[in-house]
Amino acid sequence: MAAPESGDGNNGAARMVTLISSDNTRFEVEAAAASLSQTLQLTILDGGGGGGDGIPLPNVDSATLSKVLEYCIKHAPAAANGGAPNATAVDRAELERFDNEFVNIDQSVLYSLIMAAHNLEIEGLQSLVAKKVADMIKGKSPMEIRRTLGFPDPTPEEQAEMNAHMLEYGWAYE
């Protein structure tokens, strides 16, 4: 990857770490990118993930992990600048464009991503994907939400409660 070298590299090449997905695929990635994950950052600071061993991630499959790393690599330079006070508007617009494209994916992939971001504690990715899902569901009615999330059909009792709610908060349903 042509990502610019982050500040802590003490010799020419950026430090690389290896991540191993649940289906045993190995990903070699710059430590700066992987460190966007709070959980990985600790391991990497302890010197883990280098050389031949790699860090196993038993909860993340290879398809999801490659997507996660795509995000991390793109966002690593800005994160390394620590909030990037000198980032230009162009850089920020480019990241925004990337983010919009990035979440333009299937619902099931979004779900896997949100779980991976949750487990790996990648704050930016977590909020990006959660925001996308929130935008997808915000216009739905309670029944549509139940169907989308696979909840069982409401019992007559629950149905009565839903109707009462709709009556009381009528303006919220128009």
Partner 1 sequence: MPESQAPPPRSSKRPRHGHLPAPTLPDDVIVEQILTRVPAAAVIRFRAVCRAWHAALTSDHFVQAHRSLRSGAHHQPEIVFFAPRPVAGGPATTSFYTCKLKVAGQHDEPATACELVTVEDLRASNLVLSGTRPCHGLTLLYQPSTSEYHVCNLSTGEHVALPRCAWANRVIRYGPYVLSSTGIGFDAAAGEHKVVRLYEGWDREQHCEVYGLRSGGGWWRSCAGQVPPHAAKGLDGRPPVFLDGCFYWHINTLRNFQGTEALRFSTPEPILSLSVDTEQFGWVPPPEERAHYSFHLAELDGSLCVAVDLRLTFEEYELWTRPTVSGSSSGSQVSWSLRCRLSLASLPRPMRDDLGRGNRMLPLASSFGGRILLATNCNEVFSYDPDGNSVERIFAMQEFVDDLVTVKPELLLNIALHEESITGVRCRRSTTGGDATQLKMKLGSTTVARRQGAAYQHRNDFRITPQLLHTLIGIAAEQYLPH
Residues contributing to the site for partner 1 (CB under 8 A): 39, 58-59, 107-108, 111-112, 114-115, 118-119, 126-127, 130-131, 133-134, 137-139, 141-142, 145-152, 154, 158, 161-162, 165-166, 168-169, 171-174
Whole-angstrom distance, CA of residue 132 vs CA of residue 7: 32
Q: Exposed e or buried b for every residue in 41-65, given b needs 16+ CB within 10 A?
A: eeebeeeebeeeebbebeebebebb
Q: What is the 3-state composition of the chain as percent helix, strand, coil, each rounded to the nearest 5? A: 55, 5, 35
- Which is closer to partner 1, CB of 14 or CB of 116? 116
CB of 24 to partner 1, least distance (A): 17
- Output the smallest distance, CB 76 to partner 1, in A: 22
Other C-beta atoms lying within 10 Å of the C-beta of residue 113: 26
Closest separation between CB of residue 170 and partner 1, Å? Answer: 9
Smallest gap, in angstroms, from Cβ of residue 57 to partner 1? 8
In the complex with partner 1, which residue's Cβ is closer, 16 or 162?
Answer: 162
Q: Which is nearer to partner 1, 15 or 71 (CB)?
A: 71
In this structure, what token pair is assigned to residue 141?
A: 């009615």
Alpha-carbon distance of 130 to 152, in angstroms, equals 24
Smallest gap from Cβ 35 to partner 1, in A, equals 17
Between 101 and 168, name the residue whose CB sits nearer to partner 1.
168
The residue among 3 and 41 lying less far from partner 1, judged by its C-beta, is 41
Q: Is the dihedral of CA 135, 141, 146, 150 positive or negative?
A: negative
Least separation in angstroms between CB 60 and partner 1 = 10
The DSSP symbol for 83 reads: S
Q: Which of residues 101 and 174 has its CB atom nearest to partner 1 in the complex?
A: 174
Read off the tokens for 8.
Answer: 């802590």
